[in-house]
Each structure stands twice: as structure tokens, then as C-alpha cells.
A and B are shown apart, each in its own frame.
Chain A
Amino acid sequence: MIEAILIGLTAGLFAGLLGVGGGALFVPALTIFLGLGQIEAEATSLLAIIPVALVGAWRQRAHGNVDMRTGLLLGTLAVGGAVAGVAVANAVPRRALEIGFALLILYVASQLVRRALAPPTGESRAPARP
């Protein structure tokens, strides 16, 4: 129980700081520390994501960063994809799911490194983008 709470706090902290990666940490943490299988961890991660996304959206809305109509339309149009995604996740072997997930978080890691090493935006001497 303590592990679950610590996982939540840590993953949430990273998500709030970096704007990415609730699920990227929830899934492996649930398998490593709580002993869930890959697909169970994925399902459970999605449940944990709901309150995080809700509060995140609420906070971002206060800053004027949420185009609510587009967000709700986008979410509604995503329903078919989400149902299909879950069906595929249940149909493929566990190993395929693990490899796919590993590639996904490697991509997220590469994006984070790129962003961290990019020159800060708004820097007056930064060269103009073509």
C-alpha cells in the first residue's frame, strides 16, 4: 500500500514538472513494485491517469491553455481507437506488448533529451528557425 502511494506521488511529480509521462512510469512501477502483469498494469495505469488528467485539465484551463471544444471532440473521436487498442492489447502475446511499450518509452526519453539539450526558446541570440 505504501509502495502504491509512493509510486503515485513520484509519477505525479514528474508529470507535473515535465508535462509528460504519467503512464510511462505507472505501468513499469505497477509491474516492478506491485507485481502486476503487463496488461493488468496497463489497465490499472489508465485508471490512475483519469484523476491526474482531470486535475491537469482543470489547472491548465485556469491558465487558458485548454480548447475545451476541441479536447472533448478529440476524446470522443478517439473512442473507436481506444476500444480497438485494448482489444489488440488483449490479443497479442505479452512479450510483444512489453517490447512495444519499451520502444514507446525510449521514444519519450529521446524527446526529453532533445528538449533538455535544445537552446532555451526566447533567447535573443538564438538563430532564427528557417
Chain B
Amino acid sequence: MARMLARRTITLAAIGTLAGLFSGLFGVGGGVVMVPLLVLWLGFGERQATGTSLAAITIIAAVAVAVHGAYGNLHVREGLLVGVPAVAGVLIGIELQPRISTRTISLVFAALLVIVAADLLFEFG
């Protein structure tokens, strides 16, 4: 029992460390790392993994922000101007989600990400 618990804690530490690295390195929440690993390594369901990762992201982002702040990279005004309306966007999105087909939206969002990636990769300047 104690051994299983230790094993689970080590697994969580591994997932957390990877997610923290990604988050700090790339400015994302780290859900992209946590959700699949919680499903794969700890047998979480997809929804449970997403919800649980959000609780973890709150802590991870707060720590990463504090360290970035110490490095002088943080633009507080812009962060709040983006982050506060984003909350409204998320709430609207969550309401709409069960009522519409997200298939097309997924593909549009994927295309948008590919364009942004191409712009980043090929614009040498």
C-alpha cells in the first residue's frame, strides 16, 4: 500500500516536472503534457484528466509567472487585458460546446496553429 502510494507520487512528480518544464519554457499551461500522461500512466478518464490538470495549471502558471517576473519579462497590463476577457470567452465556449459540432472548429483551430507555426519557422528575423 505504502509502496503503491510512493509509486503514484513518483509518477505524479514525473508528470508535474515535465508539465512545469513545458510551461516555463513555452508559456503554455502544460495541459498538453499532463492530460495524456494522466490518462496513460494513471488511468484517468479524459474529462477527469482535463479538470484535474486545470487545478495543477493554476499553481504551475503562478510559479512560472513569478520567476518570469524576476527576470523582468512580464507585461502585467497586457496579461490582465488578455486574461480577464479570456475568462468570459471560456465561459461562453463551455456553454456553447455541447450544443454545436466542434469538429469543424477543431480543424479551423488546427489550421490556424499550422499557419502560426509556419510563420514562426520560416520568418527569419
Contact = CB atoms under 8 A, between A and B. Distances in A.
Nearest to A12: B89
Contacts of B26: 23, 27, 42, 85, 89, 97, 100-101, 104
A22 B86 contact: yes
B94 A85 contact: no
A108 B113 contact: yes
Interface string A1-13: 1001111111111
Nearest to A107: B32
Interface residues on chain A, size class? 35 or more
A59 B111 CA distance: 28
B82 interface: yes
Q: How large is the interface on B (under 10, 10 to 19, 20 to 34, 35 or more residues)?
A: 35 or more
A44 B79 contact: yes
Given A1-B81, A42-B73, A72 B109 contact: no
A5 B106 contact: no
A23 B113 CA distance: 11
Interface of B: 9, 12-13, 15-32, 34, 44, 47-48, 50-65, 67-69, 71, 73-76, 78-97, 102-107, 109-114, 116-121
Interface of A: 1, 4-30, 34, 36, 39-57, 59-61, 63, 65-68, 70-90, 97-113, 115-116
